[in-house]
A = this chain, B = another copy of it.
Amino acid sequence: MEFPSKLIEEAVTEVAKLPGIGKKTALRLVLHLIKEHESKTQALAQALVRLRENIRFCKNCHTISDEDECTICRSHRRDRSVICVVEESKDVMAIENTAQYNGLYHVLGGVISPMHGIGPSELKIDSLLARLGRMSGEAREIILALSPTLEGDTTAFYVNKKLAPLSLRVTAIARGVAVGGELEYTDEITLGRSISARVLFH
């Protein structure tokens, strides 16, 4: 693609580095900014830089936070006896949006993936064990809420093994058919598991 302006070309190149944004979409976004008032572009740029420069990660659970300790860890209304282990901060947001959980979190920062050179030491697993030590028995259940993939399962097994010496209840989020989905469109493995892992109908 030829650009009539170096400035446009540079901006399109930068925007197109974002995931899922191609050159055509980047150009559309950039031309939109040119049409809008200058202050709009400044507000966007400032919000991004301010975020990137000031963002912190909670010293306990490693979720994205504005402070040293996140609002969930600081809250007195959260159930401190349960810790939900997730891969990323966005998983914390997803679970918070369900309004079905009132415990604490622990963000591993990924899953074990030898293909991508990520071993257990790259994840916040030791941090979880140290945190449980600091909490001296306050936490009684660990919920493993990792992706239902090979890497997620591997990580769940590894974390579970590490937790074994501690007298904790270790659970995993339920796997089965999606609510609102249709049985005939559910994949065979999920449907098979949902049958073998059936629960009492109350």
Contacts and interface: CB of A to CB of B under 8 A. Distances in A.
Interface of A: 1-8, 10-11, 13-15, 17-21, 24-25, 27-34, 38, 40-55, 63-66, 70-72, 88-90, 92-93, 96-97, 184
Given A29-B19, A64-B34, A48 B45 contact: yes
Nearest to A45: B45
The 10 A-B pairs at the shortest CB distance, nearest first, are namely A45-B45, A41-B52, A14-B47, A11-B51, A7-B51, A14-B44, A11-B47, A5-B66, A45-B49, A10-B47
Contacts of A47: 10-11, 13-15
A145 to B, nearest CB: 16
Oligomeric state, in copies: 2
Contacts of A40: 17
A64 B28 contact: no
Given A18-B29, A48-B33, A93-B2, A7 B43 contact: no
Nearest to A49: B45
A165 to B, nearest CB: 31
A88 B35 CA distance: 11
A8 B51 contact: yes
A3 B184 CA distance: 13
